[in-house]
Amino acid sequence: MVRGMKPMLRDSYGPREKPRRCKRGIALLAVVLLVDLHASSVLPMADSERISCFVLGKVHVALCPVTGYFEEDPLFTYSLEPIPSGLSDEERRKYDRLYYPRTRKILLETYDIMFFSDARIQHFTPRQYHDLDYSFREAGLPSVWSFGPAYGQAIENSIIHEVLPVSNHNGHYHKNWRVVFRPQQGPVFDPFVELGMERVIGDGYAFVVPRPGSIVWGDMQPLNTPFLVSWRPGGSQGGLTWVFADEYNQLWWGLSSAARDNNPYAIDMATNLILYSLDMPLISDISSRREARRLLSTFRAQKLLVLSMIEWADNFGANVLDLSDRLTMLEDHVDDVLQSYLEQDYPSAITIMQSTDKAILEITGDAIRLKDEALFWVYISEWMVVTSVAMLTGFIVWTLMVRRRLYRYVGTTRVQTQF
């Protein structure tokens, strides 16, 4: 059962509001729905069926893969707390006051899983450390960890160290490796072996020492060192705690621009890990899920184009209510798509989305046409102004410089010598 969520969660598929005309061509309220810096859609979603995530540390999409995954996949909502390196403890506490839950109750009621991306949390108060320890051991809150310098700076000498499934996380080295998953551990990652994930190359890693009783899900070969380790720190009551040994290697996760398509199924692997941590059904059909997600992303992009064209036309006084109504009606069909996506009924989601492609393309074309019609009169008025100025300037130049009608000759005087 997914926990309840607070309204401050980032959401790429947030609540929908019907756009309407405002006085003096002010931008449509539909565009105001794009309130989040990273969020880029206004598709509706039933929050009670979604997974809320909290990411701390290095949260930029070029350093932390899950940030981009949560933005792309409508299954997730998320909040970020950036903790840049080089800050003082007091500066980090300012970030806590902005982003971190004020109480343990808020933390547990708001989020279903936490991600620590080399999070340098040495500034945490004892109460915050104990809240995390309680959440992981007794409240069943899952967590996923990836370390760099944060392990030695913030974790190794804290009570959180005993929560982790590894007793040591040593260094950061550079040598090519590939992941080999252990098939005896269960079906969480088995589908990705068939999809070729074991052929993906990484080049950065650390040596980790698994604790007795932990589970090693995969190894980095030929290094013969664990890649992913997990356990439940509080026994059956504890939440699954995971540790990656690669510090979210940019090559393996495809974070850099040069490696963008190296590991296309990493988003689905991370989703399976989260679903397994929350005792939810694993992905039933990876290929169909990817196609449904692609169609939803395409709809988001097309809808943003329509909204920008509608806003532009509205600013120039065009009547955009018809387009707004058509777009709202189209969203009703997308409601069913999102529900099917959450229920893993991907064939139904794909069928509905394919039927909306023609409609959204027609709306896009009409929005562009309406924008062009509104701008036509702008172009005409500008042309008339420029032409009038050119004609007036030409007349003045002709009159003054060529025909010289306004010139008046004056007499001249000769300088007389004075004796």
What pTM, to 2 d.p., does this model score?
A: 0.80
pLDDT at residue number 251: 93
pLDDT at residue number 242: 98
- Type of residue found at 28: L
Q: Which range among 179-188, 209-218, 278-287, 372-381 shows the weakest confidence by mean pLDDT?
A: 372-381
Helix axes 346-397, 286-315, angle to 10 degrees: 30
pLDDT at residue number 405: 62
- Type of residue found at 372: D
Phi-psi region of 235 (alpha: psi -120 to 50; beta: other; left: phi over 0): left
User: pLDDT, tens digit, for every residue of 329-363?
Assistant: 888 888 888 889 999 999 999 998 888 888 888 88
Of 100, 89, 154, the residue nearest 122 (C-alpha): 154
Q: What CATH superfamily is the domain 50-283?
A: Class I glutamine amidotransferase (GATase) domain (3.40.50.880)
SS3 category, 380: helix
Of 75, 16, 128, the residue nearest 274 (C-alpha): 75
User: pLDDT, tens digit, for every residue of 49-99?
Assistant: 899 999 999 999 999 999 999 999 999 999 999 998 888 999 999 999 999
C-alpha dihedral, 68 to 307 to 292 to 51, nearest 10°: 50
pLDDT at residue number 331: 82
Sign, CA dihedral 360-363-368-369, equals: positive
Q: Confidence band (pLDDT; 50, 70, 90) for 221?
A: very high
pLDDT at residue number 216: 97
Of 295, 277, 274, the residue nearest 346 (C-alpha): 295
Q: Examine the pLDDT at 176 and tell me if it is beyond 70.
A: yes
Query: DSSP for 82-130?
Result: E--TT--HHHHHHHHHHHS-SSHHHHHHH-SEEEEES---TT--HHHHH
User: pLDDT, tens digit, for every residue of 14-50?
Assistant: 544 444 434 434 343 333 333 333 333 334 445 668 9
